[in-house]
Every structure is written in structure tokens, then in C-alpha cells.
Structure 1
Amino acid sequence: MDGTTLPIQPEIDFCENDRHGVYRAIFERRDVRGQFKPDPVEDDKLARLITAAHYAPSVGFMQPWDFMVVKQQEVKQKVHDLFKTAHNEAADMFEEERRETYRSLKLEGILESPVNLVITCDRSRSGPVVVGRTHQKTMDLYSSVCAVQNLWLAARAEGLGVGWVSIFNEKAVKEVLGIPKNITVIAYLCIGYVSHFYQKPELEMANWRERLAIEDILHFDQWGQSEQNSLTQTLKDQQAAAQEGRFLSEIL
């Protein structure tokens, strides 16, 4: 033996409380917009979120992400100005009956949240040939989204809210933040403590869109082929419980 200490092999199973915590983070995660509090986010807590994001899975272990922390109010204001421009443009894209509803929605918390965080993707990080990306070239982008989800779930577990802002011109944002042209912006996130989390996603509560019935998006063996079996029924029952807030208490 060379004296090297090997990491402890992870346990196969989670204990009941840990398993419950994972599902709670999933079902109680929300896209936060208007309920941010001004309280600062502690550095150790923010560090845990970024670390969780960095430990996301990535194609070919290329780890294509970078993280940019934005706290200066003048920088946030420039990004917010870009959002306002894009937001007005977007409103005109909707049919008239939905246009006013769209304008009434609070879709970002750039200025209110104490921390903004940008997650990017460097598509050249591992060279031209990457294990697992040889035939699906977009796998690096998907990997970076996994980092976003890791951070989002960790934030919920830490009692922090996250809002993903996507309504702005990427080129303009890159210019404001000095991001190189070859880097892809994946997510602009608003992070902070919140006054509350909504019971359901805000757009669902605003009747913008309903949660799709899971049996309508389930296929067996061939696209469009459905089956009425025990899995289908179990999924329907679990979705009903989730919609009524009973999943954590009755299903787990």
C-alpha cells in the first residue's frame, strides 16, 4: 500500500429522512421572482450552492461550466435594463388577450435579490472530441443545465430562493458582463432569502398553464403508444397526490 487514503464508498440506500429531503427539495423548488428579501447570503452558504453545481454530471467529465457572481448594483442595473427591453419586445409576441396578462407577471428579481449568478458553458473546454459528445453535440449544454438544477435544489434545501431570468438578448448580456464571444450563457440566476415559497409554481397559480397530465406524456416502446397498466395508474395517483400537496406525506 502506498499510504493513499481512498474515499469511503457511498452507501447504496438513503435513510428515510434523507430520501424525504431529496423529494421535498424537488417538489418545493420554485422559480422565485418577487418575494426576495434584502438579507445578504452568507459566503459559506453561497459556496455550498456553487460546489453543488460544480459536482453535477457532465458529458465526458468535461465540466464545461463557469460561474460568475454578480453583486454590484450598477452591474445588476445594466442587466435589468436589458431585461426591460426584451420584456417589452416579448409582450408584443403574444396574442392580444394574453398580452396584458404577460405584462402583469413579475418575471425577474434582478435588483431585489442580493446575489445574481451566471452559469455559462465553454463548449471547447475538452477539445474537439469528447467522450459521449461524438454524436450528440449539445450534450455539453445539457450538462451545464444539470449544474443549474443541482444548485437550485441545494438552494431550496438551504432555504434560499432562485429565479432563472431568460428574457434578454444573450449577446447584449455578454457585452455587459465581459463574457467572451465563444462562451454560451446558460442561466442568469437571482438568489436570495425569500418571504415565502408559493404552494405551486406562479404561472400555474396565475392560470397561465396547467401541469400536464403525466399519462398524456408517457409512451411505451414506440412514440405515441400508451398502455393502461399498473405503472400508468401509479403515476396518475402520485401526480394527483402531488397536485394536492400529499406526495411527501402519503407516497414516501
Structure 2
Amino acid sequence: MNDAPIFDESFRAGLEALFIWRRDVRHFRADPLPEGAMDRLLTLAQLAPSVGNSQPWRFVRIGAPGLREALAAHVDAASARAAERYDEERAAAYRALKLHGLREAPEIVAVFSDEAPAAGHGLGIQTMPEALRYSTVMAIHTLWLAARAEGIGLGWVSILDPAPVAALLDVPAHWTMVALLCIGYPSEPSDTPELERRGWQKRESRGERIFTR
């Protein structure tokens, strides 16, 4: 058996910095990623944990310009509808935000969760089938951190209707859409969330999210 690696203080400090600098990116440079970068990142993403070792994540890379534009137009329309729920002042602030990089990011990836994976033999999902989707989210987060470690940004686009997007991408009916991701080099790296920098919402203190029973 191989000896387990020792993660020393220097590594832990670097890991903390990685967590701090992992941001939801909306502003991308147009230059492409190096050859093989996406293959490497998607391979690392699949080291994520999954319920029953079912590995339910399904990554769909979107390269066709027509599909990319159709997705961008769909998100723009969904965003316009979403703005209607706010009062006038908040709606103006919402419209001032850049909410996706679907036209600029060099890589677009849709992520789905297979609701009936052959792997795992159903272990752990009899009472909590949603654990499959949680596992897929873990893979996305693993991808996010792996990308940031290489100076690559990721933006999660959630202002969309999953059903028409799934139909547009022609995926199997038993796949559930989890995320639409924009991936590329950020034009303005920061250790502060963009929504905080743009005055939308500050991060609240850690204590407000932790409870004891």
C-alpha cells in the first residue's frame, strides 16, 4: 500500500487561498484554454465523491456556435423575466449585473445528473434519490477548484429553464439538468464575490450559518 501523502501547513495555507479565490466568474477573456486543459479538468472533476460510487455526473461540452447562441438567447430571455419580480430600484440594479459569459467564455459545459445510473447498484438512493444530484454538484465543485488552481475561472448560469435547455441539447430523458457552466480565463480575478463588489449582496458572517443542537 502506498503511503498517504502529508498535507503540511504550507499546503493547507494554499488550499485556503484556493477556496478564497474561487469565484463565480461572469467576465471572461476570449482567448482559448490550452490544448488538453478541459480534458484534464473534467478528468479531475470525476474524482469527486458520489453516493454508492454511482458517478451520476454527465458533462456535455457545447462547441456548436448555433447552440451557444441559442443558450445565450434563452438565458437573456429568462433573465428579463426574472427582473420583473423586483421593485424598480432593485430591478435596475439587477439589469446592471452581468449574469453570464455564454458569448465570451471559450468553453461552455452543461452538466446533467443521470437519475438511473448503472453504476452503484442503487446503493444509498432508496430513501434519498436526490443524493445523485448532490453527487453531481460535488463533481462541479471539484471541477471549479481544479480550474481555479490553474488560473481558470468558472461561472455557473442558473437563470434558465432546464427542460427546454435539455431538449435543445438532445440528452436522454432520465438526465436531470444541474448546471450550465462558462469556463475560461477571468478578465478581472478577485478574491471578493462579484455580487458583493457590485453592491448586490455581501457575504454574511460565518456564525449566521452554523447552529448547535
TM class, shorter-length: over 0.9
CA contact (8 A) 1:113 1:191 kept: yes
Q: CA deviation at 1:207?
A: 2.2
Q: Distance in 2 between matches of 1:162 and 1:187?
A: 11
Alignment-mate amino acid for residue 4 of structure 2:
P
1:153 aligns with 2:145: yes
Q: CA deviation at 1:72?
A: 2.4
Q: Distance in 2 between matches of 1:45 and 1:179?
A: 24
Q: CA deviation at 1:164?
A: 0.5
CA contact (8 A) 1:45 1:158 kept: no
**Partner of residue 208 from structure 1, selected from 196, 200, 206:** 200
1:17 aligns with 2:17: no
Counterparts of 1:68-217 in structure 2, within 5 Å, are: 68-126=60-118, 130-217=122-209
CA contact (8 A) 2:53 2:119 kept: no
1:95-131 C-alpha deviation (Å, 9 max, x unpaired): 2221111011000000100100111100100389622
Alignment-mate amino acid for residue 21 of structure 2:
E
Match of 2:26 in 1: 33
Normalising by the residue count of structure 2, what TM-score does the alignment of the two structures yield? Answer: 0.94
CA contact (8 A) 1:71 1:114 kept: no
Alignment-mate amino acid for residue 208 of structure 2:
D
Alignment-mate amino acid for residue 15 of structure 2:
V
CA contact (8 A) 2:100 2:155 kept: yes
Task: Give the secondary structure class of the aligned counterpart of 1:162.
Answer: strand
Q: Percent identity?
A: 36
1:53 aligns with 2:45: yes
Residues 1:211 and 1:43: Cα distance change in structure 2 (over 3 Å): same
Which stretches of structure 1, 4 residues or longer, exceed 4 Å deviation after superposition? none
Task: Give the secondary structure class of the aligned counterpart of 2:184.
Answer: strand
Structure 2 runs not aligned, ≥5 long: none
Q: Highest Rg: 1 or 2?
A: 1
Alignment-mate amino acid for residue 13 of structure 2:
H
Q: CA deviation at 1:159?
A: 0.6
Q: CA deviation at 1:18?
A: 2.4
Match of 1:248 in 2: none
Q: Distance in 2 between matches of 1:180 and 1:82?
A: 20
Task: Give the secondary structure class of the aligned counterpart of 1:43.
Answer: coil
1:33-89 C-alpha deviation (Å, 9 max, x unpaired): 12x111111232212210111110000000001111112222110100111110111
CA contact (8 A) 2:108 2:181 kept: yes
Task: Give the secondary structure class of the aligned counterpart of 1:185.
Answer: strand
Q: CA deviation at 1:176?
A: 1.4
1:1-55 C-alpha deviation (Å, 9 max, x unpaired): xxxxx6x2422x3033322222111110111112x11111123221221011111
Greater mean alpha carbon deviation, residues 139-148 or residues 119-128: 119-128
Residue-pair matches, total: 213
Match of 2:57 in 1: 65
Q: Distance in 2 between matches of 1:66 and 1:46?
A: 14
Structure 1 runs not aligned, ≥5 long: 1-5, 223-252
Say what the alpha-carbon RMSD is for the aligned residues: 1.7
Q: Distance in 1 between matches of 2:9 and 2:35?
A: 30
